[in-house]
């Protein structure tokens, strides 16, 4: 009789949730309680493999958690993150910031684009990091110290200055600048504009007899029918403005140079005078390199008489003569001016004498600069006599004024009396053989420039004796 062989069924793979001992115990319990099956129907237990993949089933169910505190098993982002992303995406149409928690506000501000409209961000965002990103994206070089250390103030001041420098009268809509007032009035404290563009003038056709170029290159053209941008409405809306630094000219004009590009007209002068007079918070007023003559200087200075807040006036690098200097001397008696700069003008001895008379009775001015004028000895000695009674001036600059030995001698004597003056500059003069020993005894030898034994000074023509 042929013997039949029963082939055992394939072994059932083990799961990680059931151990080998549990399977043995289950099988033993079933054999003791249930009927005993024949040998041919017994299913042998799975044989434990000793191969390299014996623990594959166990490893398949194991989770590896990284050592990252922010790692999460969540597949969908947190609802908070989804809300922040939605706020950032729709911030321009629906700005939500103040209602958020501080940590959520910070996340929103870090993700906001610096290109958002100012109408949305100006009065809503105070975060300095956001405005720093706005500044560094627009201007590669940022000196925030020149703007009180505030990035937001820096952004609005530079943005406003850029609009003013590129404003073309008769072409640009003034509303472009005035519409910015509600956004920047609380942040702008300084306006520095180094160019004012004139109105566009269409070329006039030449007549038959005007073909020759008979006019001089230095001849000034007539004033244009329309002046530069008038600052009155803008300054009136800036309630915290403290400094105004202006230059009426055009930069980088190249081959398009014309004299009227650098013309500070009477219309500009009267408008600017009314502007500074109405600005009661103005502390510093600078108008340089604008060809301001005596008449225009008198108009401007007249508007500054009895100004309650003005502390510094800078009219350097202009065309101011003795009449303008007399107006400045009058201002010293009708203001709290502390700094006066008339450098590189056309002030001569009479103008210096007027300033000296005002200086002798002044108790506020601490700095006076008359360098690069031509006051000569007559004006220099008048200032020296004023220093005998003045008790507030600490800095005096008289470089390049055609001074000679008598003025230097008198100043050296005055310095033995005046103990308030701490800095005096007499460089670029011809003061001759002054007694160096006397100046050294007073501790003021450095005022005459570099000294070397037996070597004439390059700055003021002085030799040690």
Kindly report, residue by residue over 120-162, the tens digit of the pLDDT. 999 999 999 999 999 999 999 999 999 999 999 999 999 999 9
SS3 31: helix
In a domain, residue 147? The reply is: no
Bridge-partner residues for 168, per DSSP? Answer: none
pLDDT of the residue at 398: 95
Helices H / strands E in the chain, number of each: 17, 8
In a domain, residue 255? The reply is: no
pLDDT of the residue at 218: 44
pLDDT top residue among 413 and 44: 413
Number of structural domains the chain divides into: 1
Rounded to two decimals, what is the model's pTM?
Answer: 0.76
111 vs 89: CA distance, rounded Å = 9
Radius of gyration of the chain (CA): 42
Please give the angle made by the CA atoms of 97, 101 and 106, to the nearest 5 degrees.
65
| 3-state SS track over 75-86 | CCCCHHHHHHHH
In a domain, residue 263? The reply is: no
Q: What is the mean pLDDT of the chain?
A: 81
Angle between helices 294-304 and 322-332 (to 10 degrees): 10
**Least confident interval from 185-189, 202-206, 234-238, 423-427:** 202-206
- 438 touches 412 (CB < 8 A): yes
pLDDT top residue among 232 and 41: 232
pLDDT of the residue at 50: 53
In a domain, residue 96? The reply is: yes
pLDDT top residue among 227 and 295: 295
Residue 354 φ/ψ, nearest 5 degrees:
-65, -40
305 vs 331: CA distance, rounded Å = 6
In a domain, residue 369? The reply is: no
pLDDT of the residue at 78: 85
pLDDT of the residue at 251: 87
**Which positions ≥6 away from 180 have C-beta within 8 Å?**
118, 156, 159, 160, 163
pLDDT band at 260 (very low <50, low <70, confident <90, very high): confident
In a domain, residue 432? The reply is: no
**Least confident interval from 204-208, 248-252, 270-274:** 204-208
Kindly report, residue by residue over 343-392, the tens digit of the pLDDT. 999 999 999 999 999 999 999 999 999 999 999 999 999 999 999 999 99
Torsion sign across C-alpha atoms 405, 409, 415, 417: negative
pLDDT of the residue at 352: 97
130 vs 136: CA distance, rounded Å = 10
59 vs 47: CA distance, rounded Å = 19
pLDDT of the residue at 55: 52
pLDDT band at 77 (very low <50, low <70, confident <90, very high): confident
In a domain, residue 441? The reply is: no
pLDDT band at 51 (very low <50, low <70, confident <90, very high): low
Find the mean pLDDT for residues 312-330.
97
pLDDT at 405 over 70: yes
pLDDT at 100 over 60: yes
In a domain, residue 212? The reply is: no
pLDDT at 14 over 90: no
264 vs 253: CA distance, rounded Å = 17
Kindly report, residue by residue over 29-48, the tens digit of the pLDDT. 444 444 454 444 455 555 55
Quick one: which of 267, 270, 271, 272 has its CA closest to 285?
272
- 222 touches 263 (CB < 8 A): no
pLDDT at 264 over 60: yes
pLDDT top residue among 6 and 416: 416
pLDDT band at 440 (very low <50, low <70, confident <90, very high): low
Residue 48 φ/ψ, nearest 5 degrees:
-70, 120
pLDDT of the residue at 323: 96
Find the mean pLDDT for residues 52-62.
55
- 414 touches 408 (CB < 8 A): no
Quick one: which of 308, 228, 216, 295 has its CA closest to 264?
228
pLDDT of the residue at 156: 97
**Which positions ≥6 away from 148 have C-beta within 8 Å?**
189
Q: Which helix (H) or strand (E) holds 286?
A: strand 284-287
- Domain of 82? 76-130
- 121 touches 155 (CB < 8 A): no
SS3 425: strand
Count the Cβ atoms, other than its own, within 10 Å of residue 372.
18
**Least confident interval from 7-21, 57-71, 77-91, 291-305:** 7-21
**Which positions ≥6 away from 26 have C-beta within 8 Å?**
none
What size, in residues, is the chain? Answer: 465
pLDDT of the residue at 18: 42
pLDDT of the residue at 20: 43
């Amino acid at each position: 009789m042929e013997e039949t062989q029963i082939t055992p069924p394939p072994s059932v793979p083990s799961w990680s949730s059931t151990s080998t001992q549990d399977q043995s115990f289950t099988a033993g319990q079933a054999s003791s309680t249930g009927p005993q099956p024949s040998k041919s129907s017994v299913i042998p237990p799975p044989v434990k493999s000793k191969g390299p993949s014996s623990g594959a089933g166990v490893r398949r169910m194991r989770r590896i958690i990284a050592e990252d505190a922010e790692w999460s098993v969540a597949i969908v982002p947190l609802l908070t993150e989804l809300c922040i992303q939605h706020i950032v995406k729709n911030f321009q149409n629906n700005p939500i910031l103040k209602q958020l928690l501080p940590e959520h506000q910070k996340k929103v501000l870090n993700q906001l684009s610096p290109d958002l409209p100012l109408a949305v961000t100006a009065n809503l965002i105070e975060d300095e990091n956001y405005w720093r990103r706005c500044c560094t994206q627009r201007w590669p070089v940022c000196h925030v110290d020149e703007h009180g250390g505030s990035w937001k103030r820096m952004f609005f001041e530079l943005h406003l200055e850029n609009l003013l420098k590129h404003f073309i009268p008769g072409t640009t809509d003034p509303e472009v600048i005035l519409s910015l007032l509600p956004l920047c009035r609380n942040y702008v404290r300084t306006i520095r504009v180094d160019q004012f563009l004139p109105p566009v003038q269409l070329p006039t056709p030449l007549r038959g007899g005007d073909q020759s170029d008979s006019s001089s290159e230095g001849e000034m053209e007539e004033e244009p029918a329309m002046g530069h941008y008038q600052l009155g409405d803008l300054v009136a809306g800036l309630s915290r403005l403290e400094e105004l630094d202006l230059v009426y000219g055009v930069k980088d004009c190249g081959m398009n140079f014309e004299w009227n590009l650098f013309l500070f007209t009477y219309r500009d002068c009267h408008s600017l005078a009314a502007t500074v007079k109405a600005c009661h918070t103005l502390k510093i007023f600078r108008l340089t390199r604008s060809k301001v003559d005596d008449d225009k200087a008198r108009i401007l200075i007249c508007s500054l008489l009895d100004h309650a807040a003005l502390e510094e006036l800078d009219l350097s690098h202009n065309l101011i003569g003795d009449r303008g200097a007399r107006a400045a001397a009058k201002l010293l008696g009708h203001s709290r001016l502390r700094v006066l700069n008339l450098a590189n003008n056309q002030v001569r001895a009479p103008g210096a004498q007027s300033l000296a008379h005002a200086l002798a009775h002044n108790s506020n001015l601490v700095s006076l600069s008359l360098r690069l004028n031509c006051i000569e000895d007559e004006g220099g000695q008048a200032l020296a006599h004023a220093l005998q009674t003045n008790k507030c001036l600490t800095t005096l600059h008289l470089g390049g004024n055609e001074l000679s030995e008598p003025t230097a001698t008198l100043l050296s004597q005055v310095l033995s009396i005046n103990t308030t003056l701490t800095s005096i500059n007499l460089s670029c003069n011809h003061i001759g053989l002054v007694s160096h020993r006397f100046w050294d005894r007073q501790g003021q030898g450095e005022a005459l420039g570099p000294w070397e034994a037996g070597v004439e000074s390059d700055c003021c023509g002085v030799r040690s004796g």
